[in-house]
């Protein structure tokens, strides 16, 4: 059985990732900076104490691992050091970063080095960034470009983890309090308020008020490999209000999932035509685990289409990847 290191393993998403690895027959190597939390969370596993400020500890944490999944935010702090360690070890790196700036940094600073080393690196392999990119790529099908890409998030609620709140604070600080969008083929920073409009999701969700230009990691992952002028995100207003409230998610089943449900609805337009694809499921944090673990599984089994840094839609067969997630997301297309 192959071992996979999980940095930030005792965090909310990290625990889901460890459980998913075990369910898939891998040996998790939980890693993080707090020895007591590691031991308490994973008493039966070989845990590794490591800090992003100590490269040697990261090297020891990755010793014997076939790949590493980084679940520790804020990724503006953790992504580069853990990725450096992965390159030193010569193993694939996958993270679940939703931070736009951190993902931009990974593409900007590691693309050449990872390609030269022959190491697969997939940032944002999670609910935000990875799932949307897979859906967009699937919706495009035989199209090689699009004029517009719209990714709408219909969340019943959004109770953020402590990591999500901290990562959001870091991103806001890096932007100087401005918001960001992808328009006219580039990232734009703006001071105006987010627009509010209606979005018609697949039934039974139907038409809901959303915040337009509520940018997530899709504005990095999609343009990284697809020629497109506009990438726009939308978030249901109820979920956006919950996010501001800061209440943590609460488990309601034996898998540790919250009662949050979601629909991700993608619309792509090109030359006057449009195509759609969508998925639905439960708990955005729990869904990030099978996304990240499936990515590692495919990399280790040679089911890749790129070398170096690449988003999900570039690295993998997007339609086949989504089909493999049928146990956790329900897919529809062409509505």
pLDDT digits (tens, 9 = 90+) for 25-40: 999 999 999 999 999 9
Identify the pLDDT of residue 335.
Answer: 52
Beta strands, E only, the chain: 3-7, 27-32, 48-49, 67-70, 93-95, 121-122, 146-155, 179-183, 186-190, 196-200, 207-212, 228-236, 261-270, 273-282, 329-333
The whole-number pLDDT of residue 12 equals 97
pLDDT-based confidence at residue 270 (cuts at 50, 70, 90): very high
Percent of the chain surpassing pLDDT 70: 99
Average pLDDT over residues 70-95: 98
Specify burial of residue 295 (Cβ count, 10 A radius: 0-12, 13-18, 19+).
buried
What integer pLDDT is reported at residue 105 of this predicted model?
98
Numbered ranges of CATH 3.40.50.720 in the chain: 3-126+289-315
User: Using CA atoms, how far apart are residues 43 and 84, in angstroms rounded to an integer?
Assistant: 28
What fold characterizes domain 3-126+289-315? Rossmann fold (3.40.50)
Check residue 161 and give its pLDDT.
Answer: 92
Question: Measured between alpha carbons, how far is 311 from 139 in angstroms, rounded to an integer?
Answer: 16
Whether the per-residue pLDDT at 333 is higher than 70: the answer is: no
Give me the mean pLDDT over the 164-173 stretch.
90
Q: What is the pLDDT of residue 204?
A: 86
Residue with tokens 């859906």, as numbered in its chain = 135
Output the six-digit token pair for 191: 């001071």
CATH 3.30.360.10 residue window(s) in the chain: 127-284+325-333
Residue 306 burial (10 A CB sphere; 0-12, 13-18, 19+): middle
Q: Kindly tell me if the per-residue pLDDT of 334 is higher than 90.
A: no
Partner residues linked to 276 by β-bridges: 267
pLDDT tens sequence across 140-157: 999 999 999 999 999 999
The whole-chain average pLDDT of the chain stands at: 96
pLDDT surpassing 90 at residue 247:
no
**pLDDT tens by residue, 103-140:** 999 999 999 999 999 999 999 999 999 999 999 999 99
SS3 content of the chain, % helix, strand, coil (to 5): 40, 25, 35
pLDDT in tens, 185-217: 999 999 999 999 999 999 889 999 999 999 999
pLDDT of residue 246: 73
According to CATH, the topology of domain 127-284+325-333 is Dihydrodipicolinate Reductase; domain 2 (3.30.360)
> What pairing do the DSSP bridges indicate for beta strands 273-282 and 261-270?
antiparallel
């Amino acid at each position: 059985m192959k071992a996979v290191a999980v940095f930030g393993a005792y965090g909310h998403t990290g625990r889901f990732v460890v459980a998913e690895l075990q369910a898939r027959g891998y040996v998790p190597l939980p890693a993080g900076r707090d020895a007591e939390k590691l031991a308490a969370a994973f008493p039966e596993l070989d845990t590794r104490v490591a800090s992003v400020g100590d490269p040697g500890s990261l090297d020891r944490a990755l010793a014997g691992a076939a790949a590493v999944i980084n679940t520790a935010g804020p990724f503006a702090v953790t992504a580069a050091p853990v990725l450096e360690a992965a390159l030193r070890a010569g193993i694939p790196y996958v993270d679940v970063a939703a931070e736009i700036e951190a993902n931009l940094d990974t593409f900007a600073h590691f693309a050449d080095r990872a390609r030269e080393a022959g190491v697969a690196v997939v940032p944002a392999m999670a609910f935000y960034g990875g799932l949307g990119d897979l859906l967009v790529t699937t919706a495009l099908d035989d199209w090689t470009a699009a004029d517009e890409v719209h990714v709408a998030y219909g969340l019943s609620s959004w109770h953020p983890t402590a990591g999500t709140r901290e990562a959001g604070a870091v991103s806001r600080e890096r932007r100087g309090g401005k918001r960001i969008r992808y328009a006219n083929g580039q990232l734009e920073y703006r001071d105006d308020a987010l627009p509010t409009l209606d979005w018609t999701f697949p039934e039974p969700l139907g038409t809901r008020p959303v915040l337009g230009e509520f940018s997530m990691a899709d504005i990095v992952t999609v343009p990284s490999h697809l020629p497109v002028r506009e990438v726009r995100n939308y978030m249901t207003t109820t979920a956006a209000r919950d996010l501001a409230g800061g209440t943590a998610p609460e488990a309601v089943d034996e898998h540790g999932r919250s009662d949050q449900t979601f629909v991700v609805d993608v619309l792509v337009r090109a030359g006057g035509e449009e195509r759609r694809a969508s998925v639905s499921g439960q708990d955005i944090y729990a869904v990030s685990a099978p996304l990240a673990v499936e990515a590692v599984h495919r990399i280790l089994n040679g089911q890749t289409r790129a070398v170096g840094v690449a988003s999900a839609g570039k690295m993998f067969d997007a339609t086949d990847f989504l089909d493999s997630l049928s146990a956790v997301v329900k897919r529809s297309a062409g509505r």
